[in-house]
Amino acid sequence: MSSYLLTAENLSKVYPGPKGGEPLTVFDGVNFGVNKGEFVCVIGHSGCGKSTILNILAGLDDATTGAVIMDGKEVAGPSLDRGVVFQNYSLLPWISVFKNISFAVKSRWPKWSKDEVYEHTMKYIEMVGLKGVEHRKPSQLSGGMRQRVSIARAFAIQPKLLLLDEPFGALDALTRGMIQEELIKVWEKTNQTVIMITHDVDEAILLSDRIFLMTNGPHASIAESVMIDIPRHRDRTEIIHHDHYYPIRNHVVDFLVKRSKELNDTGIEQQGQEQAFHYPPEVNPATGQVTEVKIDTDPSQVDDTRIANLR
């Protein structure tokens, strides 16, 4: 069995076409593995299916084909093992900031005393700089503050896998930098595995062990896994002076500007041919090294029988 904490095997998402029109294949042939404790960012143009993939990993949406396997079990439905921060906050509007978080904490640790729940909740409220506004309702907060509540809630339940969908998009540069640093600290202290979507190349380099580059849709897929071999602890102001920073940055930007579309055009020509199942090659832009990664399970075997055997 694979040594990855989580694998995505042959994922695709197809929406039926409007009134008998052509169905839309948003992405297909999406395969990847994520190690325990790894921090992975996903970058790709709007509409290529990033949020959909994240929702499938969270168990909140179903793939048309394929499966997500975590800890040897197929992901089926949401779980407290997987914490999610959505693009649009998703807070309960009728309860306070404090309760939005303590509610999640209580469901994670049902045996905790009131004091334990209180302390734990406040710790995360402080972490995201919201002490003093914990009794306000989400509607009484700015967009950036709401996003911080949502981040605090996801961290507070200490999930094995943290799924973040452009979590810092709505934040001003200063707050964003501060929370990025907090995120690195929490991630370094805990043994959490993080998959995060971002459109910010510098943020992805600062945070990631690897960056997954997605081609444009339709028929999007993950073209490469870019290795970020810059040593940690990384500091926002110092990282740009590392020899590998600009080779990595240029490689990712070049992908977004040019190759994400070119690769997708090639992909469309190949439709109908036999799909190749492989993990995205691991690319180190600083050394030029490209490593093919063999898949250690056969995705064509991802069916109910195999899943049943995994359980």
- Omega before residue 218 within 30° of 0, cis: yes
- Give yes or no for residue 49 binding ligand ADP (CB under 6 A): yes
Q: In angstroms, what is the minimal distance from the CB of 153 to ligand ADP?
A: 21
Nearer to ligand ADP, 49 or 158 (CB): 49
Q: What residue 159 binds from Mg ion, ligand ADP, none (CB within 5 to 8 A, per partner kind)?
A: none
Applying CB under 6 A, the span of 45-53, 150-158, 231-239, 247-255 interacting with ligand ADP comes to 45-53
Of 4, 25, 34, 50, the one binding ligand ADP (CB under 6 A) is 50
- Give yes or no for residue 52 binding ligand ADP (CB under 6 A): yes
Q: In angstroms, what is the minimal distance from the CB of 54 to Mg ion?
A: 8
- Give yes or no for residue 24 binding ligand ADP (CB under 6 A): yes
Mask 11-50, x = binds Mg ion (CB under 5 A)? ----------------------------------------
Of 15, 142, 232, 301, the one binding ligand ADP (CB under 6 A) is 15
Of 10, 51, 158, 264, the one binding ligand ADP (CB under 6 A) is 51
Torsion 79-81-85-91 (CA) sign: positive
Nearer to Mg ion, 12 or 51 (CB): 51
The structure tokens 């071999």 sit at 229
Nearer to ligand ADP, 15 or 94 (CB): 15
- Give yes or no for residue 51 binding Mg ion (CB under 5 A): yes
Nearer to ligand ADP, 22 or 115 (CB): 22
Per-residue H/E/C for the chain = CCCCCEEEEEEEEEECCHHHCCCEEEEEEEEEEECCCCEEEEECCCCCCHHHHHHHHHCCCCCCEEEEEECCEECCCCCCCEEEECCCCCCCCCCCHHHHHHHHHHHHCCCCCHHHHHHHHHHHHHHCCCCCCCCCCHHHCCHHHHHHHHHHHHHHCCCCEEEEECCCCCCCHHHHHHHHHHHHHHHHHCCCEEEEECCCHHHHHHHCCEEEEECCCCCECEEEEEECCCCCCCCCCCHHHCCCHHHHHHHHHHHHHHHHHHHHHHHHHCCCCCCCCCEEEEEECCCCEEEEECCCCCHHHCCHHHHHHHC
Q: Which phi and psi angles does 224 have, rounded to 5°? A: -150, 155
- Give yes or no for residue 48 binding ligand ADP (CB under 6 A): yes
Site for Mg ion in 124-153 (CB under 5 A): none
Mask 199-228, x = binds ligand ADP (CB under 6 A)? ------------------x-----------
The residue ranges that bind ligand ADP (CB under 6 A) are 15, 24, 26, 44, 46-52, 217
The residue ranges that bind Mg ion (CB under 5 A) are 51
